[in-house]
Chain A
Amino acid sequence: MSYALPNLSSKREVDSIIRDTLDRVLVLRFGRCSDPICLQLDDILAKSSRDISKFGVVALVDMDAEEVQVYVKYFDITLIPSTVFFFNAHHMKMDSGTADHTKWIGSFHYKQDFIDVVEAIFRGAMKGKLIVSCPLPPERIPRFQLLFKDL
């Protein structure tokens, strides 16, 4: 179903979408089309994109593209899939109880979970908050281990 979502493979495309998405949450998924968890997440994103179209935009970024590596380093992406949220070209953080508040790592259990997360980010952004709390229960938040510079 990822054919329904825009697939970005260059820095210019990523810059354009960040700059041109105004007053809506921009969801950028960094991953690979061949990874199974990425596929699962892509399926959820594709199915929910229409539902959140009034307050959110979803796009997929190919991590293996050369031009995108600058963003991979800038966003400190070490695990895939990683989902980064923006609002008016500003990065939105979410405190989900994990070590990394700058992105969402892994997939979602349900489509509604993703919609709830985007809604929470949108509401926080409209109030002027750069960091919001995750509305999901802890059992539905994927756990991971974050290492400092892969050490």
Chain B
Amino acid sequence: MDRGKKKKEEEEEEETPKRDGGDPFEFCDVCRLNHDQRPRPPPPLLPLSHVREPGDSVPCCNAINHLASSEHLRNLKGFLRKHGGGVDRIDSFRVSDEELAEWEKACKSLKSAASTSGQGTIGPFSVPLKDIQHEHTSNNMNSFDKHSITSSNSNAYHPVMPLQTLTNESHRLYPQDLSGATGAGSVPYETAAFSVDLQGNTGSARCKQPMQLVNNVKILGGYSLINRTEDQTAPGGSCNGALQKVTQISCAAKGSQQNVHSGALPPWLDANEEKDIGQLNTGQYLNNLTQTGKLKKLNPKRVGAAWAERRRIELEMEKRGERLLNTFDANWLPNFGRVWQAGTRKESKREFETEKRKSIVDDNQPELPFKAQPYISKRARTGSPNRQNADSGCVDDIANNV
């Protein structure tokens, strides 16, 4: 028993570090890990990884300003000195002044573009945007060389699309069909949301770093195809989409292209067409019977009952093809009680028709040119007979005009 205890103690001594002399293990505040004294590569810096955290789609401007600050540089130098990293690589862990100026310029241009476009542009933006989706699909999450802000300049003017997937789900993206899939197409509601967001936050556009969505239409298309189509799912038959597990079923009639999209009739209508014509006729006959049954229930004293009966018979005849369509007069007018009506509706209709005829006649008659004549007083008119004869025409004209 004592030997067993001693062995155990020895094992424990071997396992446990001797903390009396020196520090065999050092706790890293940044990584929150215990490291032994053996040299190890410097751990990735968490402050920068916060910027690219899967949950954050838009890194805060405060983080960028902090990364460009002198305080961060001081901390960084201390960290690298402490953990033995190369001090020459310090620039890859911070934002230089030039990069900061470029970012601010991009923010300004994005803000001005959002304000000048009025309602906000829907679609790609020609400003350098952060490509966070591409970062998640790549294998270089930890190296900041490739994903620094300077790298965004190379993709500055590529057309970009808003995110079509949750960035949390990025690890589930299948890289297959990246070259072939171009089905990103249009996601109108998402683009609208994106533009609305910009429009709504034009005031704080400076604070938000514009997103760069690389030309990953293919990736998105591949993902969307995986999610939606049956052919591109895993062979196991299940589609690991973002939200649901959908089971793939085998398409029984793959050869025939008769489906909803090709405009074919549904099977129940096809089946009906195969029935005898006699059955259809009986169906129609039954319909007529039910209709007449309903009509019998209608009040025969209702408004326009006689008109309705007549019209119904005419429509049935037209359906059977016995009568030509639209045989009524072009000048037909309905029964209408006018506003300034005096008398029955028939009289108002007649009145309107006479007014209409008068207006047509007036339009047809050419307008006589108006002749301006001088005024002749009564005395002058009743004066000399010579004057009377000469001016009678003028007086008549004046009288007519008055």
Contacts and interface: CB of A to CB of B under 8 A. Distances in A.
B326 A23 contact: no
Contacts of B333: 74
B328 A125 contact: no
B373 to A, nearest CB: 30
Contacts of B302: 23, 87-88, 125-128
A12 B352 CA distance: 19
A151 B44 CA distance: 86
Interface residues of B, number: 28
Contact of B339 (A23, A102, A130): A102
Contact of B299 (A74, A90, A127): A127
Interface stretch (A14-22, A40-48, A58-66, A134-142): A14-22
B308 A88 contact: yes
A23 B340 contact: no
Contacts of A3: none
Interface string A56-95: 0000000000000010011110000000001111111100
A22 B299 contact: no
Classify the secondary structure of B's interface with A.
Answer: loop
Contact of A128 (B301, B336, B337, B356): B301
B307 A148 contact: no
A102 B338 contact: yes
Contacts of A88: 302-305, 307-308, 311
Contacts of B328: 15, 19
Given A15-B328, A91-B337, A102-B338, A125 B312 contact: no
A20 B325 CA distance: 12
A76 to B, nearest CB: 4
A73 B354 CA distance: 13
Contacts of A1: none
A11 B330 contact: yes
Contacts of B339: 76, 100, 102, 146
A129 interface: yes
Contacts of B304: 87-90, 125
Contact of B340 (A76, A91, A130): A76
B382 interface: no
A89 B334 contact: yes
B337 A22 contact: no
B345 interface: yes
Nearest to A128: B301
Contacts of A15: 328, 332, 334
A127 B339 CA distance: 23
B250 interface: no
B201 to A, nearest CB: 30
Interface string B343-386: 00100000010011000000000000000000000000000000
Contacts of B299: 126-128
B46 to A, nearest CB: 54
B308 A91 contact: no
B298 interface: yes
A125 to B, nearest CB: 4
Given A76-B340, A88-B302, A125-B303, A70 B356 contact: yes
A16 B325 CA distance: 10
Contact of A89 (B298, B301, B307): B307
Contacts of B352: 73-74
A91 B311 contact: no
22 contacts: A15-B328, A15-B332, A16-B326, A18-B334, A20-B315, A22-B308, A23-B298, A23-B308, A74-B336, A86-B334, A87-B304, A88-B302, A89-B304, A89-B335, A90-B304, A90-B307, A90-B334, A91-B337, A125-B303, A128-B299, A128-B301, A129-B303
Given A102-B339, A125-B304, 12 more contacts: A18-B334, A19-B311, A73-B352, A88-B305, A89-B334, A90-B334, A90-B335, A91-B334, A125-B302, A128-B299, A146-B339, A148-B340
